[in-house]
Every structure is written in structure tokens, then in C-alpha cells.
Amino acid sequence: MIIINKNSLEDAIAVSQQISEFKHPYGMDEYQIRLKKNHLILTASIHNKPIGFKIGYDRFEDGSFYSWMGGVLPEYRKKGIAKMLANYQEKWAKENKYTTIRLKTRKKYKAMVAFSLKRGFKILNKIAKVPDEESRIWMEKQL
């Protein structure tokens, strides 16, 4: 049974450090800098083992909630865990009077782009980088 927990930054960081796509995962210092404003930390666990996380915060102070970091351990993907975390985050954001969710991803994370589009996100902007796979994609969803 998958359990979603709030506010376990240590567990979220531990999961992030096990996700191979994150070549240089952030440490506690970066999280503490960004999470000074209104924020939400979620972790997904099975049998008390953290297997996924999603973290967002009020980056822009314009009514949008920024979905900053998230991921699921490879062996637990395609089981609906990312969807559960995203659903929780969106419900929480709406309950806390946010009108949109924003995120930024990279072109190389094709599964994240497809997941976001399927959830109703629209592409707002693309920032070209070299190589092209490192290009950034800004997305937004109305709540």
C-alpha cells in the first residue's frame, strides 16, 4: 500500500539522490534556501520505504505554485505513484488558493513532458540550450 506523507525533507532528499536522471542532486542547503516561502514536501512510501517525492513552493508570489522537484525510484515507476503525488499537490495548491501550477523541465525528460501534457499542462515557453536535449520547457496548468 502506497502512503503519501507531508514534510519529510530528509526522505525526499534521500529519494532524489537515488534517481539516476539527477546527475547532481541538490543537497539540504539548496532545499532550505528555496523552501523559506510557503511550500509543500511530499513523499510516497511503501512499507515505510520512501520511493517517490514531490516538492513545490511559492516561487513567484503571483498566485501560482511552482512544482520544483519530484521523482519516483525506477523500480516503482508505472504504478501510479507520480500521479498520486501530483494529485495531492494540485489539491493542496487549490485548497491554499493557488490558481495555477507551474513547472520547468528539460527536453530530455520526455516521460515528464508527456506526463505533464497528459495532466493538462500547457507549454508556456521553451529556452534553447546546447545541446538541444538540455533545453528547458516551462509548463503551466490552471487549477
Beta strands 49-57 and 122-127 are: unpaired
- Averaged over successive runs of 10 residues, the pLDDT of the chain (143 residues) comes to 95 96 93 95 97 98 97 96 98 98 96 97 97 97 98
The per-residue pLDDT for 136 is 98
> What's the confidence (pLDDT) of residue 114?
97
- Confidence (pLDDT) at 60: 97
The structural architecture, per CATH, of the domain 2-102 is 3-Layer(aba) Sandwich (3.40)
pLDDT of residue 40: 98
The 10 Å Cβ neighbour count of residue 2 is 15
pLDDT at 73: 97
